[in-house]
Amino acid sequence: METEPKSSDQQKSYTDISQYRTGFAAKNKIVTAEEAVSIILDGDTVVFGGFAGIGVCEEIALAIEQRFLTSGKPEKLTLLFAVATGPGNDSNKGLNHLAHEGLLRRIIGGHWALAPRIQKLAVENKVEAYNLPLGVISHLYRNIASQKAGIFSKVGLGTFVDPRQGGGKLNAKTTEDLVRLLEIEGEEYLYYKALPVNVAVIRGTTADTDGNITMEKEALTLESLSIATAARTSGGFVIAQVERVAQAGSLNCRQVKIPGILVDCVVVARAQNHWQTIVEQYNPAFSGETRIPLTSLPRMAMDVRKIIARRAAFELKPNCVVNLGIGMPEGVANIAYEENLLDFMTLTAEPGVIGGFPAGGLNFGAGVNAAAIIDQPYQFDFYNGGGIDVAFLGMAQADRFGNVNVSRFGSKLAGAGGFINISQNSKKAVFMGTFTAGGLKCRIENSRLGIEKEGKVAKFIDEVEQTTFSGPYAAKSDQKILYITERCVFRLGKKGLELTEIAPGIDLQRDILDLIDFKPVIGRPPRLMDERIFKPEPMGLKEELLTITLENRIIYDAENNIMFANLAGYTVKNSDDIEAVRSTIENLLKPLGRKVYAVGNYDRFHIDPDLIGAYSEMQKYLMERYFTKVSRFTTTAFLRLKLGKALEDRGVAPHIYESPDEAHRFLVND
């Protein structure tokens, strides 16, 4: 990437600049913020660490702003960040400090939402501006550190980052291509161009006088090491903001996260400018100093947010690794807590938290009771490699093709953040959001949902404003994708969005189809969403989650030519559950090419009475094709009566017994 030409008093080679900066730092690594920022030259590329409301380098950002306002220097900087730090409003904090015309020439960022003042510069075409995936920027720091030319990645294909859809450019002023489309061995890749880092601004807790940095009170470690190394190998300068200073040689070497050889100067921040997060001075649970009981977590109010989170929680599986996005998806963690599921899965957050319980709001990205906190680039190695079983993500707009937009809406620039990496590479992605926005009001009565006031803004539209997630790209890879709202559920199919579920109390035409800009695919009548979602009491997901899978319930004994179907505790709630039993048995027996004996355990088997007829038809189908003789047993008299009668009505002998011994004796005695 080309940099802006230097002013006349700065026509030096980068070697000269590096020597100047190194000489400055050699005087004394502990300096004031004003002294530290004085080394920033016109046209420099400045990288800021931090993540949203966490790890804010407030002292340094403020010093840069004050220097510019008093002297007009530095000017025409390139600002690079993975996630903009700030309060999410117009107050003068975080990267909002740098939002001055003339100070910035170019901004390259992953997530912009928390610094609306720099958003404004981009939207008003006053700076060159790019939005690249957070995970790509995180990895780019590492590649710059090792002097690589850039990154080859599939992350971003089919989205607004793809050069065929704009290449991440955010306004008309932005013309240089930072992203190229290349073909390597017959496959498409995006190439993200690297650039030298002239100044790195990072944060830690303690520095010794040699510049070694520890991070014991920080909520996250992020890319601090990669950023510092990138600046050092670029011949740049590293400024570290810390809380306190220790004598050289006194720090535990295992706690040092940034070695002093990478740090040029250290600024001890004033207490008000070094909070752990932008809203919390210090929470020892965020840094792993303490573990806290989760019994004090409040239960979610019974509203649309809880309905959506409850339906999403049905996608959790035992031992799954989960990513939770900001906003609506945060509720899934609360439901997992309410349903006593947290011990059976691992929740993660993109900046490096693994395990525990994620924090929300302006503390998003931190977590309590974590098993580990790793650097963000390594978290995205894991994410990009398919390590996430299910990701729960926000959904501001969706269209007929299954594309999702969370990054830009007219003059509002949120940025993609880690959304592109996560949604594209998770085994299953679940997008969550209300069906409409802008004043939506719902009521829940007698396990039914009613719409009191419809939202003014349609969210399911013909074409999204910006493609943050590509439905067609996901459909090609057979990735499992759901779109969950309070009133219905869609899934991504080969032809686009398919309507699969509808909430009880909702009118299909009035409350759904009339409010969509396109006609979704409806292969068969949508089934009702589970009624437990709309009841105040816990849904009993723990018992359901730990239930044995169908594949492990149905086995074949080749020696005796007997199939055993252990349906004890199995629940048939809809036609899909019936189809699951049929297909599992057929997939097991069809390759054998012969009929078998079968015995079924129906203890604690639950079925909606309205589905008994369809279930019996399925049993008849299997009997005619795959079974020589069948017996069943259950201690439930009601089920013996109802299922037995339904089978007899279809000409199938039920042979339902009260014990397994009776069922087995019938099976072996001709």
d(Cα 308, Cα 489) in Å, to the nearest integer?
10
Of the candidates 213, 287, 222, 225, the residue with the CA atom closest to the CA atom of residue 52: 222
Query: Which residue intervals of 268-354 are DSSP H helices?
Result: 304-313, 330-338
DSSP-based three-state secondary structure for 378? helix
- Of 462, 465, 456, nearest in space to 160 by CA: 465
What is the distance in angstroms between the CA of the first residue and the CA of the last residue of the chain?
83
Residues facing 256 on adjacent strands: 214
| Dihedrals phi, psi of 252, to nearest 5 degrees | -70, 120
Q: Which residues, including other chains, have CB under 8 Å from residue 244's CB and lie 6 or more apart?
A: 205, 206, 207, 268
Measured CA to CA in angstroms, residue 411 lies from 113, 115, 185, 261 at distances of: 12, 14, 40, 43
How far apart CA 65 and CA 99 sit, in angstroms, is 9
Q: How far apart are CA 265 and CA 100, in angstroms?
A: 25
Give one word for 387, left, alpha or beta, with left for phi > 0 and alpha for psi -120 to 50: alpha
Rounded distance between C-alpha atoms, residue 49 and residue 306, angstroms: 34
Classify residue 175 by burial, with Cβ atoms within 10 Å: 0-12, 13-18, 19+: exposed
CA-closest candidate to residue 354, choices 383, 316, 396, 385: 383
User: Which residues lie below 8 Å from residue 92, measured CB to CB, with a gap of 6+?
Assistant: none
- Cα separation, 409 vs 113, in Å, equals 12
CA distance 546 to 525: 30
- Left, alpha or beta for 667 (phi > 0: left; psi -120 to 50: alpha)? alpha
Give the C-alpha distances (Å, rounded to integers) separating 263 from 22, 433, 657: 10, 44, 77
Question: Which one of the listed residues 350, 454, 486, 501 is annotated catalytic?
Answer: 350
Q: Contact 481/474 with Cβ under 8 angstroms?
A: yes
| Catalytic status, residue 289 | no
Burial of residue 213 (number of CB atoms within 10 Å: 0-12, 13-18, 19+) = buried
Mapping DSSP onto H, E and C, the string for 115-133 reads CHHHHHHHHCCCCEEEECC
Say if residue 74 is preceded by a cis peptide, omega within 30 of 0.
yes
Write out the catalytic residue numbers: 350
